[in-house]
Amino acid sequence: MTELLKFQGLVAGYGQITVLKNLNLTVNSGEIVALVGANGAGKSTLLNTISGILPVRSGNISFDKKDLKGMRASKIARLGLRHVPEGRRVFAELSVEDNLRLGAYGLGRSEFEAGLDPIYKMFPRLVERRNQLAGTMSGGEQQMLAICRALISKPRLLMLDEPSMGLAPLVVAEIFRLIKHMRNELGIGILLVEQNARAALRIADRACVMSLGKFELEGTGQQLLRNPAVAEAFLGGNRPPVAQAV
């Protein structure tokens, strides 16, 4: 495990409003770090700040020992830190393969073709639909495509914002299997933002509970799953089995 992403005293926000208040975190290769928290806690803001869409106000942030402060979003993406934004935003008017081609933007043609093979092997469905317009696929397929579009560039760290949003349970299970596969087989570090806190904590190596722009609680996924405060807030109250475990 090597240290990939690290930030200390991170502060960011919009206009006069400070959203992120002094956050510290490290994400290593081959581990899943989950961020859970209520709406408006600042989870997506944090991902947008890391990927350079929002500017860092103060604090230090580095990826693979390179300072990210003030770096352009497109350049950060090319370092191998990929962000899959909320709401499975595929390029609806482009074909599936062109979406993947854009994922490899900035890489050579041979690298794109080399990256395509494993992805098509993993998702044979995408092969069938390679010439179909991405916007005409089902929600689950679009989310898969959005993740694959980031995956094709062989990222070392992937930030997923609500990958299970609005999807059927079976599809959600498939997406979580994919996330585990990326960690176990590909050794990618994953920063996962999820509303589906229980599922996220189950697969997470470490997790943070975010509230009003701060990390309220940190621990391993299992610890937080058993924590009564977490259970109360996100997992549907103090159900007996959880209460007994504590």
Partner 1 sequence: MKSANSSLRRNFIRLGLLVVGIAVLDVALTSQFYRSTLTLSLIFAIAAVGLTLLMGFAGQVSIGQGAFFGLGAYSAAFAIQQLGIPPLVGLVVAAVVPGFFGYLIARPILRLSGNNLALATLALAAVFYVVATQWSSVTGGIDPGITGLPALDYFGLSHIHVVLWLAGICLVICTAVALLLIDGRFGRALMAIKTSEVVASCTGVDVARTKAIAFAIAAAYAGIAGALFGYFLRAFNATSFNVGLSIELLMMVIVGSLSTVWGAIFGALAIMVLPNLLEGFDHAKLLVYGLAMVAIMMLAPNGLGETLAKLVTRRRVAE
Single residue of 16, 39, 131, 244 touching partner 1 by CB under 8 A: 131
Q: Smallest distance, Å, CB 213 to partner 1?
A: 21
R_g (Cα) of the chain, nearest Å:
18
Count how many residues are written for the chain.
246
**Cβ atoms of 46 and 35 closer than 8 Å:** yes
Interface with partner 1 includes 106 (CB under 8 A)? yes
With a CB cutoff of 8 Å and minimum separation 6, the contacts of 81 are 4, 5, 50, 51, 63, 68, 155, 156, 157, 159
Residue 82 engages partner 1 in binding (rule: CB under 8 A): yes
Nearest-approach distance from CB 60 to partner 1, in angstroms: 22
From 33-41, 57-65, 76-84, 193-201, span contacting partner 1 (CB under 8 A):
76-84
Return the number of the residue (7 or 112) whose C-beta is nearest partner 1: 112
52 binds partner 1 (CB under 8 A): yes
Q: For partner 1, which residue of 50, 150, 151, 192 counts as binding (CB under 8 A)?
A: 150
- Does 51 contact partner 1 by CB under 8 A? yes
Closest CB 126 distance from partner 1, rounded Å: 15
Q: How far apart are the two ends of the chain, measured CA to CA in Å?
A: 31
Strands 3-14 and 214-220, by their bridges, are unpaired
Please tell me the distance from the alpha carbon of residue 172 to that of residue 216, in angstroms, as a whole number: 27
Q: Render the burial of 39-66: b for 16+ CB within 10 Å, e for the rest.
A: eebbbbbbbbbbbbebebeebebebbee
Considering only residues 27, 36, 77, 160, which one is a binding residue for partner 1 as defined by CB under 8 A?
Answer: 77
120 within 8 A of 195, measured Cβ to Cβ? no
Q: How crowded is residue 101: how many other Cβ atoms within 10 Å of its Cβ?
A: 17
Closer CB to partner 1, residue 102 or residue 122?
102
| Range in contact with partner 1 (rule: CB under 8 A) among 67-75, 169-177, 194-202, 238-246 | 67-75
Is 144 a residue that touches partner 1 (CB under 8 A)? no
Between 101 and 202, CB nearer to partner 1: 101
Among 94, 114, 122, 186, the residue binding partner 1 under the rule CB under 8 A is: 94
The answer for residues whose C-beta is within 8 angstroms of residue 89's C-beta and 6 or more apart is: 146
Determine if 93 is a binding residue for partner 1 (CB under 8 A).
yes
Residues in contact with partner 1 by the rule CB under 8 A: 51-53, 72-75, 77-78, 82-85, 89, 91-94, 97-98, 101-103, 105-106, 131, 149-150, 153
